[in-house]
Amino acid sequence: MYDYLIVGAGFSGSVLAERLADAGKKVLLTDRRPHIGGNAYDHHDDHGILVHKYGPHIFHTNSERIYQYLSRFTRWRHYEHRVLAHVDGKHLPFPINADTISALQGRKMDEQEVEAFLQQVAVPITRARTFEEAMVSKIGRELFEKFILNYTRKQWGIEPSALDAAVAARVPARTNRDDRYFTDKFQVMPLHGFTRMFERMLSSRNITLLLQADYRDVAREVLFKNLIYTGPIDEYFGCCYGKLPYRSLRFEFKTENKPVFQPGPVVNFPNEHAYTRVTEFKYLTGQKHEKTSLVYEYPAAEGDPYYPIPQDANAQLYDRYKKLADEQRNVYFVGRLGTYRYYNMDQCVGQALAVFDRIRGARGGVDTVDAA
């Protein structure tokens, strides 16, 4: 008899497994993949270079609680992520900043000049309803077409005019020279990789780990009081209302016989090639090696679910599944797939900690409770 069967050994499931095990509960953690860590799983390739199997994962958060919690399981390497976009034959800082615009304009511009330039080119839209409208109202049509338009078409497989305006919040534009991709208070990488961090997180004797297993088969074989589900919510209900749309990725790994291959950790290619970006892992990990490994990302319509597609129709479909979820007793739906949200890693951790707080608060402990 297990107190909790947890489906999915990524951030959401692993954090809840650790917290519940620490509280004395017996946990069975399952995953259909052959490894822990979910999409954050990393490993050494055939050349001995630490790579991220499912594309680059860079940790950043403003939450002291989330940072301190994960610090129990890893030491950190300070790392501030930077991205370049290959536009007009140049490698330019992205998100767009003063140096980006200066390079395109052919002269060095200060912050006030850049602010005035953006105000001049911005398309006046009182209430942006789509991603395209939100972006052109910030950076104007020309910059939108150079940096965003074709990248979005590749990434999402649809026109920017068909995406929700809220997506624009993930694409800032700056008037200063800050070339960091993130501005969070804590910007770090696990010193020995994400997988090592997960191994320590899941080391409790109260956690039984079962990999390469379908939870439906497991659920028929074991007894458990509560279920925590981090898989796709539509799959849980047999896609009875239809499948929730996701965007997937295909990864192509290459190793170059040189210490450094490209001028930055990630280079976006908005207007060339079928891939969207190329990541060189040694920038992220700080590893010293005579060779370097990279991954090329190709967005795809089919494959593992990575990104919930932010459109009104999809949100409405999710709401139908959520109503079913709310009717379940002792079942918790957590994480990017379980709640159909485009969460960062720290948001998955934060949500998992919040769910544990609710469980712990019910009946004064972590006993069987109704789903939240």
pLDDT digit string (tens) for 220-279? 999 999 999 999 999 999 999 999 999 999 999 999 999 999 999 999 999 999 999 999
Measured N-to-C along each axis, helices 194-201 and 11-22 cross at an angle, to the nearest 10 degrees, of 30
| 349 and 207 part of one domain | yes
- Grouping H, G, I as helix, E, B as strand and the rest as coil, residue 56 is coil
Determine, yes or no, domain membership for 196: no
Determine, yes or no, domain membership for 166: yes
Domain with 157 in it: 93-170
Which residues make Cβ contacts (< 8 Å) with residue 313, sequence separation at least 6? none
Beta pairing, strands 224-229 & 2-7: parallel
CB atoms within 10 A of CB 252: 11
pLDDT single digits (tens) 264-296: 999 999 999 999 999 999 999 999 999 999 999
Determine, yes or no, domain membership for 158: yes
What pLDDT sits at residue 366?
A: 42
∠ CA 217-323-244, nearest 5°, is 65
Beta strands in 122-171, from DSSP E residues, in sequence order: none
Beta pairing, strands 292-300 & 246-256: antiparallel
pLDDT single digits (tens) 300-340: 999 999 999 999 999 999 999 999 999 999 999 999 999 99
Beta strands in 257-315, from DSSP E residues, in sequence order: 266-268, 277-280, 292-300, 307-308
Determine, yes or no, domain membership for 123: yes
Tokens found for residue 162: 């068909």
| 227 and 143 part of one domain | no
Quote the number of domains for the chain.
2
Task: Give the residues across from 48 on adjacent strands.
Answer: none
Determine, yes or no, domain membership for 330: yes
| 161 and 17 part of one domain | no
| 212 and 360 part of one domain | yes
Among 170, 185, 216, residue at a domain's last position? 170
Determine, yes or no, domain membership for 352: yes
| 104 and 227 part of one domain | no
| 212 and 347 part of one domain | yes
| 117 and 211 part of one domain | no
| 101 and 161 part of one domain | yes
